[in-house]
Amino acid sequence: MTRTLLAPPLPSALDTGDAQFRQNREDMLEQLAQIEELLDEADAGGGPERMERLRSRGKLPIRERIANVLDPDSPFLEISPLAAYKSDYVMGGGMVVGIGVIAGTECVIMGNDPTVLAGALTPYAAKKWMRALEIARDNRLPYISFVESAGGDLRVQTGDGEGRRRAQLDHFAETGRFFYEMIELSKMEIPTVCVVFGSSTAGGAYQPGLSDYTIMVKEQSKMFLAGPPLVKMATGEESDDETLGGAEMHTTVSGGGDYFAEDEMDALRLCREVVSHLNWRKPGPEPRFDVEPPAHDPEDLLGIMSRDLTKPVDVRDVIARTTDGSRFEQFKPRWGATMVCGWASIHGYPVGILGNNGVIYPDAAQKAAHFIQLCNQIDVPLVFLQNITGFMVGKDFEADGIIKKGSQMINAVSNSTVPHLTVIIGSSYGAGTYGMSGRSFGNRFTFRWHTAKIAVMGPKQIAGVMSQVRRGQAARAGIEFDEEEDAETVAQVEAIQEKGSLALRATGAITDDGIVDPRDTRDVLGMCLSVVRNRPIDGAEGYGVFRL
């Protein structure tokens, strides 16, 4: 076996002295500075006062709990840190979800932030929680929950509060699913470990209740179906929460808790001990190749994408700054050229990469379908680098079967069973989003660069299409078309569409796993390629490769 792929490093004609490049870089750094500010906001949780109050009770903020449970100096990939962006909820949605390494084992960690609404479940937290369970299930990662939650956000149900606009996500109907999913994990022999840091009431009590392992903290963890006030209401019984559901009672009397921790750090120590005994083995193959840094500086990735996505970009310049040694063996380079396909390795893991160098033509769609089949044959995960305005339209292309051939590609993506990792670096429009393994197509992870835009079509296009519809309606009704009014409407629609398609909006709605600094792309993919190997990598079977 060779220690690297034999393909030579990609050449790169990227001109880093070019004015456009410098402008792009400046824009990107400005955007990343904004991200940093938003991450600081997420980090602050419910604010300094609540953090201080938490500490004064001998408790640790959620991010410190996570930092302390992780192996020192090991990586941590937070999922959707900017959830709830531009909503009425605190940045992050009152919950932290991420993938980290505990006792050498990759785990999904989800934790309530008790400084945000006392850890009550916001609609955003609910969606993040579901995503955490999904990551655990799809990749077979042990699931660790750090529970400290007042329960559901009752204000939503009662309409109580400051009367501000709430997120329109109806979450009550979904809530039971968490528990179902937790049981599913256990049934699939994916361990679930719950550390109860604070109150875990009513529905919340089922989190430890349904976990394989439950750790409780002395005089701090509380676990009951109903707290003292409700008990009094229901039966008139007088009780205090320690006797009703404290760690002492549960670890000595009810057996509801397995481990009794002296304090929070002790609970984290016990959590690490539990993970260390899980005997967790990764069935996926270890990295095959030497880990060479890219031959081209990943720093240059800052200057590749323009704010104006109409500027042409060669996706191979991104590939050359992401793969081991910049090596890339291009498949069918002379055919269907707008779909760049080929093999590389990232952090030693072999991957097939699909990237867009323009709109998808019928031949490009077929090439992608062919390539996806090949990677399934050899059990190689796929990386999709999306910068796609869509499938080509027009009479010639309809005649050439763009629907049929585009469907072949979408079919191949959907039936592919190797892990898909998707990074949206620029446009992600229409069916192009689907064909390039978008969020709804069963990919394992979706990340975005700040430059990404995602929508059914481009803002200009949608505004223009709607204008034409109005014009047609006016003509049919015999009404004079008000050009001035239309121009105003077009501008408005375009602006709204533009805003709605922005990466931050999409990430705020938890339609991805987060916005990443382009320079982190390689490491994000490397980590994900390791994570997906907690489950065997088996390509689709049943047919030979169709040469399309």
Residues that bind another protein (CB under 8 A): 39-40, 42-43, 63-64, 66-68, 70-78, 81, 96, 98, 101, 104-106, 262, 265-266, 268-269, 272, 287, 291, 347-348, 514, 516, 519-520, 523-524, 526-527, 530
Closer residue to another protein in complex, CB, 39/403: 39
Q: Output the six-digit token pair for 355.
A: 């990237």
Closer residue to another protein in complex, CB, 126/515: 515
- By CB atoms closer than 10 A (0-12, 13-18, 19+), residue 242 is middle
CB of 138 to another protein, least distance (A): 18
Closer residue to another protein in complex, CB, 32/319: 32
Rounded distance, CA 146 to CA 196, Å?
A: 6
Residues in the chain: 548
Terminal CA-to-CA distance of the chain, rounded, Å? Answer: 31
Rounded distance, CA 374 to CA 213, Å?
A: 42
CB of 477 to another protein, least distance (A): 54
Rounded distance, CA 68 to CA 546, Å?
A: 51
Closer residue to another protein in complex, CB, 184/266: 266
Closer residue to another protein in complex, CB, 430/526: 526
Closer residue to another protein in complex, CB, 373/521: 521
Q: Which residues, other chains included, contact 15 with Cβ-Cβ below 8 Å and sequence gap of 6+?
A: 21
Closer residue to another protein in complex, CB, 106/258: 106
Closer residue to another protein in complex, CB, 106/317: 106
CB of 128 to another protein, least distance (A): 12
Helix, strand or coil for residue 121? Answer: strand
Spatial contact of 374 and 352, defined as CB atoms under 8 Å apart? yes
Tokens 């904004």 belong to 34
CB of 56 to another protein, least distance (A): 18
CB of 387 to another protein, least distance (A): 21
CB of 385 to another protein, least distance (A): 18
Closest residue by Cα to residue 260 from 294, 197, 230, 215:
215
Q: Any alpha helices (H) in 188-342, and if so which ranges?
A: 206-209, 228-235, 241-245, 247-249, 264-276, 315-319
Rounded distance, CA 95 to CA 204, Å?
A: 14
CB of 104 to another protein, least distance (A): 5
CB of 113 to another protein, least distance (A): 12
Tokens 């291009």 belong to 330
Closer residue to another protein in complex, CB, 340/504: 504
Q: Which residues, other chains included, contact 163 with Cβ-Cβ below 8 Å and sequence gap of 6+?
A: none
Spatial contact of 466 and 496, defined as CB atoms under 8 Å apart? no
- By CB atoms closer than 10 A (0-12, 13-18, 19+), residue 183 is middle
